């Protein structure tokens, strides 16, 4: 399976040793192993780690652009296994958001014991990028449901999508964060004669 490489300041598969910070907001356990999701908030990238494991245990990331409702099946970003003689491993770093395709993303870390079929994943989370305070975090959470293909917000109809877009517009006006301005023109262009 060929996966699209997402880039912004840096591209997918960057070495976590180059991260200026390490925040780990969520974790999961599996048969005594700990799977953690880590973030480099400054560069909007994340990576996964597994600790307390055995050789052959796997760890990877899943990435979603719709608030965790779906993700690329089988993608296993950065999938790696614990090598012989070690008890832990980490993936490379991957971008959370895809600004080229207007994808507001979330990541989760997943792990699997080598000798069992069970998989454990952390909850979905994202960096503090475009979420430095409660106001911008609210807009970013809302935009995880924006469907660029339709110009509407998923899980709702036209009327509530209009209300959601109005809230994003108000947020842009109040906070000055223009990251989601593209949604205004996109929604207008796609729905001018449709609704």
Flag the least confident range among 3-7, 8-12, 107-111, 186-190: 3-7
Q: Clarify whether residues 117 and 138 are in a common domain.
A: no
| pLDDT tens readout for residues 161-189 | 999 999 999 999 999 999 999 999 999 99
What is d(CA 159, CA 162) in angstroms, rounded to the nearest whole number?
5
Residue 167 three-state SS: helix
Q: Clarify whether residues 145 and 181 are in a common domain.
A: yes
Q: Clarify whether residues 138 and 115 are in a common domain.
A: no
8 A C-beta contact, residue 91 and residue 60:
yes
The domain of 34 spans 16-121
C-alpha distance across the termini of the chain, in Å: 38
Helices first, then strands: H and E counts in the chain:
3, 11
Residue 187 lies in a domain: yes
| pLDDT tens readout for residues 14-52 | 999 999 999 999 999 999 999 999 999 999 999 999 999
Q: Clarify whether residues 45 and 115 are in a common domain.
A: yes
pLDDT of 1 > 50? The answer is no
* Domain of residue 111, CATH code: 2.60.40
8 A C-beta contact, residue 137 and residue 168:
no
SS (H, E, C) 57-100: CEEEEEEECCCCCCCCCCCCEEEEECCCCCCCEECCEEECCECC
What's the average model confidence in pLDDT over 61-82?
88
Q: Clarify whether residues 145 and 83 are in a common domain.
A: no
Strands 45-51, 58-64: pairing is: unpaired
Q: Clarify whether residues 38 and 81 are in a common domain.
A: yes
Residue 6 lies in a domain: no
More confident residue, 3 or 19: 19
Name the domain count of the chain: 2
Average of per-residue pLDDT values in the chain: 93
pLDDT of 83 > 90? The answer is yes
Provide the whole-model pTM: 0.90
């Amino acid at each position: 399976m060929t996966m699209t490489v997402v880039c912004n300041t840096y591209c997918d598969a960057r070495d976590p040793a180059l991260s200026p910070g390490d925040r780990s907001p969520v974790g999961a356990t599996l048969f005594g192993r700990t799977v953690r999701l880590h973030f480099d908030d400054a560069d909007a990238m994340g990576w996964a780690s597994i600790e307390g494991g055995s050789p052959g245990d796997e760890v990877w990331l899943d990435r979603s652009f719709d608030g965790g409702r779906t993700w690329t099946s089988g993608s296993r970003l950065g999938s790696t296994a614990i090598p012989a003689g070690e008890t832990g491993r980490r993936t490379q770093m991957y971008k959370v958001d895809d600004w080229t395709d207007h994808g507001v993303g979330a990541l989760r870390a997943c792990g699997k014991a080598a000798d069992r079929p069970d998989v454990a994943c952390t909850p979905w989370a994202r960096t503090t990028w475009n979420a430095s305070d409660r106001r911008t975090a609210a807009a970013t959470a809302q935009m995880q449901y924006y469907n660029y293909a339709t110009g509407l917000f998923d899980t709702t109809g036209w009327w509530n999508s209009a209300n959601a877009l109005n809230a994003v517009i108000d947020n842009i006006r109040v906070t000055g964060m223009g990251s989601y301005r593209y949604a205004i023109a996109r929604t207008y262009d796609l729905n001018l004669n449709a609704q």
